[in-house]
């Protein structure tokens, strides 16, 4: 498939986008908006890959210190900002939650709810450093912390001395062991073909109507079918270029115009 860069989403073309959104009624009708919002949330928790490789045992709800945790079915579209910590020698050689042996020199991490083998881009918001890691454990079970990094991961982010740092997590997909595969996924995230998911519908006609609005305005748009456990979802993706910065700006504009829950997808 041939793709065209959508200048409509560039900084110099924000006004045309505003006119387009105003013309086509970017805020959906109450009925269609409700359908979009609820199904978008549902679709963000479903992906075919989740049922193929994730250990079912690690997907079951569990209780730690009288608090229940509910692992999510997929990391599709997942982002999170919060405090990262790290764990090292005291756990080196012990089993992780998915049965692997913890090696503090591997690029891995513990997360309370993400599926095992989720690949995350972790950015230290305090110094700008970034790494790519794979989730293979549960934790941290300390209030206010969102991820526990391995020794090597923490070292590369330069948080060993301080112990913690504020970070931003972006899910890149899933992978087995192997840093080469993780790095390839990272490169694809920064230099791939970018789309923004702007809707997910149970009704194909609603998806077609939304697609038509963007197609008529000159955008490359397609509908991806996803077969969930209980229903078929029709996801509407619009192409937004080949740079992460441009894609992020496009997502922000789209979200401001009424498409809540829109998120970037790298292909």
Q: Is the torsion defined by CA of 194, 27, 235, 82 positive or negative?
A: positive
Question: Which of 39-43, 62-66, 92-96, 193-197 has the highest average model confidence (pLDDT)?
Answer: 92-96
Q: Are 194 and 167 in contact (CB under 8 A)?
A: no
Q: What percent of the chain has pLDDT over 90?
A: 36
Q: Is the pLDDT of residue 198 over 70?
A: yes
Closest CA to 24 of 256, 215, 199: 215
Task: Assign 19 a pLDDT band (cuts: 50, 70, 90).
Answer: very low
Per-residue model confidence (pLDDT) at position 75: 80
Cβ proximity of 114 and 149 under 8 Å: no
Task: Supply the range of the domain harboring residue 29.
Answer: 7-46+192-266
What average pLDDT is seen over the chain?
Answer: 76
Split at pLDDT 50, 70, 90, the class of 40 is very low
- What is the dihedral sign for C-alpha 165, 168, 173, 178? negative
**Of 127, 159, 190, the domain-final residue:** 190
CATH number of the domain bearing residue 80: 2.40.40.10
pTM of the model: 0.55
| Confidence band of 253 (pLDDT split at 50, 70, 90) | confident
Residue 212, SS3 per DSSP = helix
- Count how many residues are written for the chain: 267
Q: Are residues 87 and 182 in the same domain?
A: yes
Q: 177 and 216, same structural domain? A: no
Q: Are residues 94 and 118 in the same domain?
A: yes
Extract the tokens encoding 255.
């979200």
Beta carbons of 113 and 138 less than 8 angstroms apart? no
The DSSP letter of residue 141 is -
109 and 156 in a single domain? The answer is yes
205 against 249, higher pLDDT: 205
Q: Are 237 and 265 in contact (CB under 8 A)?
A: yes
Residue 187 has pLDDT above 80, yes or no: no
Examine the domain organization and report whether 79 and 32 are in the same domain: no
Co-location of 147 and 88 in the same domain? yes
- Predicted confidence (pLDDT) at residue 189 exceeds the cutoff of 80: no
- Overall average pLDDT of the 53-74 stretch: 78
Supply the pLDDT for residue 149. 97
**How large is the average pLDDT for residues 70-96?**
89
**Three-class SS of residue 36?**
helix
Q: Choose between 12 and 58: higher pLDDT.
A: 58
What phi and psi values does residue 75 have, to the nearest 5 degrees? -100, 10
CATH code: domain of residue 238:
3.30.70.1070
pLDDT at residue number 174 = 73
Alpha-carbon span 238 to 90, nearest angstrom: 47
Indicate if 198 and 186 belong to the same structural domain: no
Q: What are phi and psi of 225, to 5 degrees?
A: -85, 135
**Is the pLDDT at 175 greater than 80, yes or no?**
no
Q: Are residues 181 and 57 in the same domain?
A: yes
């Amino acid at each position: 498939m041939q793709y065209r860069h959508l200048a409509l989403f560039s900084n110099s073309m924000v006004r045309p986008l505003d006119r387009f959104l105003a013309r086509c009624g970017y805020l959906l009708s109450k009925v269609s908006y409700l359908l979009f919002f609820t199904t978008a949330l549902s679709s963000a928790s479903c992906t075919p890959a989740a049922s193929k490789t994730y250990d079912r045992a690690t997907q079951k709800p569990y209780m730690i210190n009288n608090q229940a945790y509910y692992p999510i079915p997929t990391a599709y579209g997942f982002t999170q900002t919060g405090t990262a910590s790290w764990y090292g020698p005291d756990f080196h050689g012990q089993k992780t939650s998915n049965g692997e042996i913890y090696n503090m020199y591997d690029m891995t991490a513990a997360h309370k709810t993400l599926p095992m083998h989720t690949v995350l881009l972790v950015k230290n918001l305090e110094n700008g450093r970034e790494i790519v890691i794979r989730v293979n454990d549960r934790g941290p079970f300390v209030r206010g912390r969102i991820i526990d990094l391995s020794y090597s991961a923490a070292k590369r982010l330069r948080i060993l001395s301080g112990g913690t740092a504020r970070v931003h997590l972006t899910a890149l997909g899933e992978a087995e062991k192997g840093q080469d595969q993780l790095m390839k996924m990272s490169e694809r995230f920064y230099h791939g073909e970018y789309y923004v998911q702007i809707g997910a519908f149970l009704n194909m006609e609603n998806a077609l109507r939304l697609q038509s609005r963007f197609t008529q305005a000159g955008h490359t748009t397609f509908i991806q079918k996803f077969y969930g456990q209980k229903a078929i979802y029709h996801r509407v993706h619009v192409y937004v270029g080949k740079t992460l910065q441009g894609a992020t700006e496009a997502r922000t504009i789209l979200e401001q115009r009424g498409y809540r829950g829109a998120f970037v997808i790298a292909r």
